[in-house]
Each structure stands twice: as structure tokens, then as C-alpha cells.
Amino acid sequence: METRVAVMSMIVEDPDSVEALNALLHTYGNYIIGRMGLPYREKNISIISVALDAPQDITSALAGKVGALHGVSVKTAFSAK
């Protein structure tokens, strides 16, 4: 199946959702190229970026599951190839 590179950006405003988010990312770990997390203590949020190489439906499924978590916002950008 054809894969596409994507970057998923997340803002976590509810610290109680972090464990569920990490579990989801672990489940999709085979597709993750890299991950960067930045705690922004002044605003009490976390900013997370994840680079993936996966079929588009897999990336979209992960984004949907992440977006369903309470207090988590997600946006995804796909490469052309």
C-alpha cells in the first residue's frame, strides 16, 4: 500500500489525556518517523509534533482518535507524495 509522509501537530490542554494520547501513539509506533514534545508551562499546555510515513487512511484514523480525546486539538499536513 502506498504511504505518504505527514506531520501531525497536537496541542494538549487537558493533562489527564496525556496517558491515552501516549497509548495511541505507541499503537501507531510502526508508522512514526519521529516525535517532538514541548511542555509550555506558562500556559499549562503541551505542544506535540509527530512525523509519520503511513497510508493516508492510517494517518487519518490516528488523527480522528487523537482529536476525540478531551482537551486535545490536532491538525495534519500531508506531503504530495
Tell me which residue range forms the domain holding 34.
4-78
Q: Which of 72, 79, 24, 8 lies closest to 46 in space, CA to CA?
A: 72
How far is it, in rounded angstroms, from Cα 60 to Cα 66? 10
The one-letter amino acid at 14:
D
72, burial (CB in 10 Å: exposed 0-12, middle 13-18, buried 19+): buried
- The tally of domains found in the chain comes to 1
Look at the block and give the residue holding cell 497536537.
10
User: Can you give the pLDDT at residue 76?
Assistant: 98
Question: Global pTM?
Answer: 0.92
Say which CATH number the domain at 72 has.
3.30.70.1150
What's the chain's Rg over C-alpha atoms?
A: 12
pLDDT tens sequence across 30-43: 999 999 999 999 99
